[in-house]
Structure 1
Amino acid sequence: MAYINGKEVLPEYLLKEVQKYFKGGIIYIPEPGNSRREWGSRTNTRKELKIRNSEIKDKKINGASINELMEEYHLSYDSIKKIVYA
């Protein structure tokens, strides 16, 4: 997310109104509620985690210990448990 100066995008009257409530600093203005995207929809992260978690479950079914999976995937004991037993 890029920083944008309010003077560049807001009409002067609106900028003055915002300055009544917030002077200086950085403010986040979220997108309208109906335009929000689901987590991971902009990247392949969600898909990659699903594949990784499936691999972890398969390895556990085939005899890998939680400690081995922790070492291989660099995850905590609790994280592996949540994946395996979900």
Structure 2
Amino acid sequence: MRYKNANAVLPEGLVRELQEYIQGGYLYVPVERSRQKRWGEVSGYREELQQRNDKIKEEYRGGSAIEVLADRYGLSVYAIRKILYQR
């Protein structure tokens, strides 16, 4: 996240009003809830993990042992079980 100078993006009156509360500090303005993205949605990593998990489930149904899957994907046996038994 990059910082922006308030003078460059806000009306002068609003900057003066904000200066009544904070001067020379950092102010975080959160995204509206309706515009928030879930973790990994912007980068596409969430979809990538879902595809990997689907492949793990498919291989397990095809007869691959949990220990083999853990080794193949570099995950713990616990993590593989979590993937297999998630809803």
Normalising by structure 1, we get a TM-score of: 0.68
Unaligned runs of 5+ in 1: none
**1:38 offset after TM fit, Å?**
4.4
Identity %: 40
Quote the residue 1:22 is aligned against.
22
Q: 1:6 to 1:75 in 2, by over 3 A?
A: farther
**1:52 offset after TM fit, Å?**
0.6
Quote the residue 2:82 is aligned against.
82
How is 1:1-20 mapped onto 2 (pairs within 5 angstroms)?
Answer: 1-20=1-20
Is 22-31 or 44-53 further displaced after alignment?
A: 22-31
| Counterpart amino acid of residue 85 in structure 2 | Y
Q: Secondary structure of the residue that 1:21 maps to in structure 2?
A: coil
Q: 1:83 to 1:17 in 2, by over 3 A?
A: same
How is 1:1-86 mapped onto 2 (pairs within 5 angstroms)?
Answer: 1-86=1-86
Distance 2:62 2:36 in 1: 40
Q: 1:75 to 1:15 in 2, by over 3 A?
A: farther
Aligned positions, number = 86
Unaligned runs of 5+ in 2: none
Normalising by structure 2, we get a TM-score of: 0.67
Distance 1:25 1:72 in 2: 49
Q: 1:10 to 1:53 in 2, by over 3 A?
A: same
**1:26 offset after TM fit, Å?**
3.3
- For the aligned residue pairs, the C-alpha RMSD in angstroms reads 2.5
